[in-house]
Structure 1
Amino acid sequence: MTNNVIIETQMLVRKPVQIVFNAFIDPLITTKFWFTKSSGPLQEGTTVTWEWEMYQVSSNVTTKKIIPGQFISTEWGDPATTVDYEFNALTEDTTYVVIKNYGFNLSGEALIAAVMNNTGGFTTVLDGLKAYLEYGIELHLVGDKFIKK
């Protein structure tokens, strides 16, 4: 049974909406701030594999819907949840990005852990996106988030 929990993170990025939107579609850009490898670009109705090679982790990501320059809806994780990316052009040169994650089939401590992990994770993604698109800096935030013991 799915609960009503929605995780939401957001960030203003000082770049045009099409550039910000494309950063999530095109893995040649996305690998600069999020995952390290992808089997292809996001396309509606297809599934790609994202890899985080430093952690030896991968996930199959199914793209459910794309509205160019505005919206991407994906499903991924284990157990799978929905992740929506909203792109709002505030001006010609600024975009407000909102990531929403929902559809959790968890409760209690497992739900709390998922909420904390995913909120922090998507915040880190947006921080890395902003640094890369605005300043051309690869901060390696995702790779440096967890140390190997």
Structure 2
Amino acid sequence: MNTADFEIKTNIQISKPIAEVFEAIVDPQKMSNYFIANGSARLEEGKQVMWSFPEFEGEFPVNVKKIDANELIALTWDVEGTPFLVEMILTPRGDNATKLTVTEKSTAAERPSIQWLKNNTEGWANFSACLKAYLEYGINLRKGAFDFMNDDK
């Protein structure tokens, strides 16, 4: 990695089999229980889907670059014309646990890339923790968590 480039990375172990974790990420109905408000379609290689979030206005295009079932989900989204690659790697940890590594890569350490990755460091850690809570305990940690973002200032 060039010293002018950087990336963010989060890791978490989820006490569920790898196939269950994979499905919770690629299925928009499952994902709406812990991350997005709505997804236009299942994540499939070569497709573009639209995600909406309860705390933000509008829809966000997500381009699915690569899917290896139960191993890898690679997608891009962009900010102000700069595409960011997100890779989710699933690694089995025995029969009933999965390590999830989420990496978001940047092309250069300059604005708006720095601000985007700064915010997404928190975002992908939140995604991972919410996925764990949903799969292991059936709860949605995001519900109401960002209501303050819609308050008048």
Query: Is the shorter-chain TM-score for this pair beyond 0.5, marking a shared fold?
Result: yes
CA deviation profile, 1:57-93 (whole Å, cap 9, x unmatched): 3210011101110001001121320000000001110
SS at match of 2:149: coil
Structure 1 unaligned runs (5+)? Answer: none
C-alpha separation in 1, matches of 2:73 and 2:147: 25
Correspondence for 1:83: 86
Checking the alignment, whether the CA contact within 8 Å between 1:11 and 1:126 is kept in structure 2 is: yes
CA deviation profile, 1:1-20 (whole Å, cap 9, x unmatched): x9531110111000000000
Correspondence for 1:118: 120
Checking the alignment, whether the CA contact within 8 Å between 1:8 and 1:98 is kept in structure 2 is: yes
- CA RMSD, 1 decimal: 2.0
CA deviation profile, 1:16-43 (whole Å, cap 9, x unmatched): 0000011110001011111100110000
Correspondence for 1:98: 101
Total equivalences in the alignment: 147
Correspondence for 1:57: 58
Correspondence for 2:135: 133
- What is the deviation of 1:145? 7.0
Checking the alignment, whether the CA contact within 8 Å between 1:82 and 1:101 is kept in structure 2 is: yes
Correspondence for 1:72: 73
Structure 2 unaligned runs (5+)? Answer: none
Correspondence for 1:26: 27
Which amino acid counterpart does residue 147 of structure 1 have in structure 2? Answer: M
- What is the deviation of 1:114? 2.4
Higher helix proportion (structure 1 or 2)? 1
Distance verdict in 2 for CA 1:104–1:66, change over 3 Å:
same
SS at match of 2:146: helix
Q: Give percent identity, aligned residues only.
A: 27
Which sits farther off after the overlay, 87-96 or 3-12?
Answer: 3-12
C-alpha separation in 2, matches of 1:98 and 1:118: 14
Correspondence for 2:12: 11
